[in-house]
Amino acid sequence: MPEMTTKLEEQSAQVGLNISREKTKVMGITQRPSSQPIAVAQGNIEYVERFTYLGSVISRDGDVKADINTRLAKAAAVFRRLDNVWRSSTLILKIKLDLYTSVFVSTAIYASETWKSTARIRQQLDVFHQRNLRKILGITRKDH
C-alpha cells in the first residue's frame, strides 16, 4: 500500500496537486478494521468509522441510521425556523403544503433509494412527516 500512495503523490505533484493529510481520511469497508497505516505527506492518514460525502453520512458497516438521523435533523431545524410561515394566516394552505413538499420532503428523503427499507426507517420517516403536517395544519396535541 505505501508504494501506491507514493506513486499517487508523485503523479499528483507533476500536475500541481498536493494531498492534504489533514483533509484525507480512510474508511475500510470490512468486518474488521485495518491495522495497516496508510502514509501520505510524511504522515499517516486517520481511519474513520463514518464520514460525510455530498451531504450523506457513510458508515463503515453500511448502516444508514446516522444518515437518516442527520437528514431529518437538518430538515427539522429549517422547518422550525420557518415557524412564522406555517402559522401565517395570509398564506393559503396549498402554498404551505407545496413549500413543505418541495423543500422538506425532498431534503429528508434525498438519496433514500440507497437506504435499506425497514419498518423502523419507514416509521421514523412517517413520524417526521406527520409531525410537520400537523404543525402546518395547526393541529395541536389537544386536538387529538
- State pLDDT tens for residues 86-131: 999 999 999 999 999 988 888 788 778 778 888 998 999 999 999 9
Cell numbers for 48: 474513520
17: left (phi over 0), alpha (psi -120 to 50) or beta: beta
Whole-structure pTM over 0.75, yes or no?
no
pLDDT of residue 130: 93
pLDDT of residue 4: 67
The mean pLDDT of the chain is 84
CA 90 to chain centre: 34
Does residue 1 surpass a pLDDT of 60? no
Give dist(CA 5, CA 40) in Å, integer: 6
H or E element, residue 89: none
* Region 21-47 average pLDDT: 75
Give dist(CA 118, CA 141) in Å, integer: 28
* Region 68-79 average pLDDT: 89
Give dist(CA 54, CA 17) in Å, integer: 22
Per-residue pLDDT band at 31 (split at 50, 70, 90): low
DSSP type of residue 46: E
- For 98, the 3-state DSSP assignment is helix
